[in-house]
Structure 1
Amino acid sequence: MVPKTVIPTREQLVDRAAELVPLLQRHARWAEENRRLHEEVVEALSDAGIFKLRRPKRYGGYEADARTLVDVAAELARGDGSASWVASVYWIPGWMACMFPDAVQDEVFATPDTRVCGTLSPSAMAAPAEGGVTVTGKWQFISGAHHADWQEIIAILVPQEGDPYPIMALVPMSDLLVVDDWQTSGLKGTGSVSTVARDLFIPQERVLPLPAVLQGQTASKKNAESAIYRVPLLPTAAASSVGPVLGLARAAGEAFLKRLPGRKITYTAYENQREAPITHLQVADAAQKIDQAEFHAHRLATLVDTKAVEGSDWKIEERARARADLGTVVRLAREAADILATASGGSSIYLDVPIQRISRDVQAVNLHALMHPNTNAELYGRVLCGLEPNTLYI
């Protein structure tokens, strides 16, 4: 029996995240060089309760709402985008684990601080087997795999009769081969390695049809009355992952202004960059874009939280707008970071100057398939034009 958990308020959780910023900043370069989070960072995130935000209360979790996820992740990203990204990734597969039968959840959440990594990409094949399925395949971009206990996987099941369809399953990390192939230009500290399964048997109780999960259907009886577990997967994932890029944009602004005093604009008459009109325009433009990004991030979170509490059906336009808001935040964050990086001068390319890392991390987020601004904008416009969405991921 888990003792009754004292649930921190949003403000308390955001404060905890803010207190971690100096530690995250201190280890950010180590994380880049070693392509994974420092153990001290993982331990600090755990101690602050960051990994409990989407864990059910009956297992000692907080069942935090989407607005809390946005604000906590944004604070963490002020310290290190990779640390914030890994936390947000754990929140999504951790929430997906709560769609499984209660007995499966008892197994997954048997340890006090279970971490679940995962993917939405169906890059493996599954075949029926007695009592379950066997899976063979490889999954890339598995952020936080080095520090996870379980992985949520997606595979295409080819049944003996009927058409193939995607399934979602839970697998202990000990059942998977981890391939250390994370050699990238951005979000290097996330340790987003690949994992491999070879004729891996997964019992039926740890397998769900992905289309049902995408529509918000759950096999859990105990989570049925909890607001955060009755939202469709994609709006949930969008609200869970938007905070890191918002925080990176804020970090870009803070990093630029910290270096501004005393800097000059080389080969010009400006001995103080702070006095140049071009600097005023750049800072104002970036700040406005960050403000706009915050609006869209909070609008997305409000939509998810409101629908969750109401328990009402989601209109297709609302689902598409959730992804559009995510894409808009990502685009605005990139534009703000680009302005500030351009204004930072040649000395900013040194690895001990944070703006170069922030800029690369923001660019990496922009390339993510589910966060890409153009992809999300096209989907939203398609729905607004009265057409059916051309993807299951909505």
Structure 2
Amino acid sequence: MEITQAPPRDELVRRASELVPLLREKALWMEENRRIHDDVIEAITDAGLLKMRVPVRYGGYESDMGTVVDVLAELGRGDGSTAWTVAVWSISTWMTGLFPDEVQDEVFGTPDVRISGILSPGAVAVPTDGGFVINGRWSFNTGAQQSTWNTNAAVTPTGDGGFAPVMVAVPISDLQIVDDWHTSGLRGSGSITTIAEDVFIPAQRVLQMGPVLQGQHQSKRNADATIYKAPFMPTACATISAPALGLALAAKDAFLERLPGRKITYTSYENQAEAPVTHLEIAEAITNIDEVGFHAHRAANMIDAKGQAGEAWSLEERARVRLDLGAVCQRAKEAVDILHGASGGSSIHRDVPIQRIQRDVQALNLHAILHPKTNLELYGRIVCGLDSNTPFI
């Protein structure tokens, strides 16, 4: 098995930055075709960005969370759907490292394998000889059509009339594809529905969800790896905060690019850049963007610091990452909304990026895990001494 020296953070971020022009060029195509362009996937693969969360023994980088956030944010500057899809692939790749080592050998035996995943338990796994038979469906399955494997949630009977949540690793080829991704935002992510009908899954490809959420796993060879010393939810939440940061930065780029020479119609301002209202709007937006970066990097830095120190996580620390995620999405949307509102009537044309950026960031804010108020409420409950109202923390 190949052992690769991981490139430093600056190098991976540079590679991601160099892809921004390509992502912007293909963004409209990806929106119209509801999937990532093949040229974009090839470029991301060639840049080594799919290796960030792959174990080093399979040629991966085991990049720290700070690197992952910075790389994904750069991709988000180019295209929100691409950043979101690569974020999901990154989480699911990390999740695969929780499975027994023989499962990892099977999955990572394919170089630059793409693994999508769903956390909502949309299927039932019934025990049978040697494993489970699974039936059900998973919606919002980002990038599934362009992936080889799925790490999906299901439930399995406990024998006392109840059900326990599990995570399963299943080849995409074993699932049916329902092409139902017709949405207003993140259209290029291809987050379609997959269906399992009497799919057999060997026992080693099924993990109990409870230990996974607590940061426990079945891999012996990943036991000492720093990136696996963080619990699942903080890891996932920090990862998916990055596309929102990227979209906020993209909105600033898009606004400033169109600003020179624009006037404010029906006013005496022949140059929008000279209007005081523009100064107030861009300054307020940048302030929000700075706050987005603060929260995204605070979560990433805590994950990296605690992983390097091997420290246990408190409930409040876990909830704080959810707080950071909510703040990232809220402030990103506020920044984008300001710049979108200042972009004039011509910005509603499909080839003007700001309208797509606005729809993409709105889609992120509606996601159940990213929803700002839900995350703020959760943290507030913990600080006020109440129990968590969700196991996803």
TM-score, normalised relative to structure 1: 0.99
| In structure 2, C-alpha distance between the alignment counterparts of 1:6 and 1:157, rounded to whole Å | 40
Q: Which deviations, in whole Å up to 9, do the C-alpha atoms of 1:237-286 show, x marking residues without a partner?
A: 01111111101000000100110011011111111111111110000000
Within-5 A mapping of 1:147-162? 147-161=146-160
Letter of the 1:76 counterpart: L
Listed one character per residue, the Cα deviations across residues 315-345 of structure 1 (whole Å, up to 9, x for unaligned) are 0000000010011000000000000000000
Deviation at 1:101, TM superposition (A): 0.6
Alpha-carbon distance in structure 2 between the residues aligned to 1:53 and 1:43: 16
User: For the residues of structure 2 that align with 1:131 and 1:119, how far apart are their CA atoms?
Assistant: 24
Moved more, 237-246 or 338-347: 237-246
Cα drift, residue 201 of structure 1:
1.0
Q: How far is the alpha carbon of 1:6 from its aligned partner?
A: 2.5
| Letter paired with 1:221 | K
Matched with 1:133 is 132
> Which residue is 2:268 aligned to?
269
Distance 1:243 1:26 in 2: 21
Query: 2: distance between equivalents of 1:161 and 1:379?
Result: 31
Give the structure 2 partner of residue 169 of structure 1. 168
Structure 1 equivalent of residue 69 of structure 2: 70
Partner AA of 1:225 in structure 2: D
Asked if 1:322 corresponds to 2:321, the answer is yes
Where 2:198 maps in the other structure, the secondary structure is strand
Distance in 2 (CA, whole Å) between partners of 1:40 and 1:162 is 49
Alpha-carbon separation, structure 1, partners of 2:326 and 2:182: 25
RMSD of equivalent CA atoms: 0.8
5+ long unaligned stretches in structure 1: none
Deviation string for 1:34-64 (max 9, x for gaps)? Answer: 0001000001000001111000000000000
Distance apart, 1:112 and its partner CA: 1.0
1:334-345 superposed matches below 5 A = 334-345=333-344
Aligned mates of 2:161, 2:94 — CA distance in 1: 30
Which residue in 2 is equivalent to 1:207? 206
Partner of 2:298: 299
Which position in structure 2 is the counterpart of 1:122?
A: 121
- SS at the partner of 1:300? helix
Report the Cα distance in structure 2 between the residues aligned to 1:191 and 1:253, rounded to whole angstroms.
26
1:132 aligned partner, one-letter code: G
Aligned residue identity for 2:8: T
Relative to structure 2, which stretch is displaced further, 326-335 or 126-135? Answer: 126-135
- CA distance in structure 2 between the partners assigned to 1:202 and 1:230 by the alignment: 27
- Residues 128, 160 of structure 1: 8 Å contact kept: no
SS at match of 1:12: helix
Report the alpha carbon displacement of residue 186 of structure 1 after superposing the two structures with TM: 0.2
Residue deviations 1:103-157 (CA, integer Å, cap 9, x gap): 1100010011111100100111121111111111110111111211100111111
Secondary structure of 2:19 counterpart: helix
Partner amino acid, structure 1, of 2:383: L
Shift of 1:159: 3.0
- Cα distance in structure 1, aligned partners of 2:314 and 2:336: 34
Q: Secondary structure at the match of 1:86?
A: helix
Give the counterpart letter for 2:70 in structure 1. Answer: D
Deviation at 1:161, TM superposition (A): 4.1
Do 1:128 and 1:159's aligned partners in 2 also have CA atoms closer than 8 Å? no
Q: What residue in structure 2 maps to residue 239 of structure 1?
A: 238
| 1:70 partner letter | V
Give the match's secondary structure for 1:314.
coil
Contact 1:55 1:62 in 2 (8 A): yes
Instruction: Determine the structure 1 residue equivalent to 2:331.
Output: 332
Matched with 1:19 is 18
Residue equivalent to 1:359: 358
Rounded Cα–Cα distance in structure 1 between residues aligned with 2:4 and 2:298 = 29
Q: Which residue of structure 2 aligns with residue 252 of structure 1?
A: 251
Contact map agreement 1:127 1:159 (CA 8 A) in 2: no
The aligned counterpart of 2:145 is 146
2:56 equivalent in structure 1: 57
Alignment match, 1:219:
218
1:46 matched to 2:45? yes
The letter of the residue matching 1:135 is I
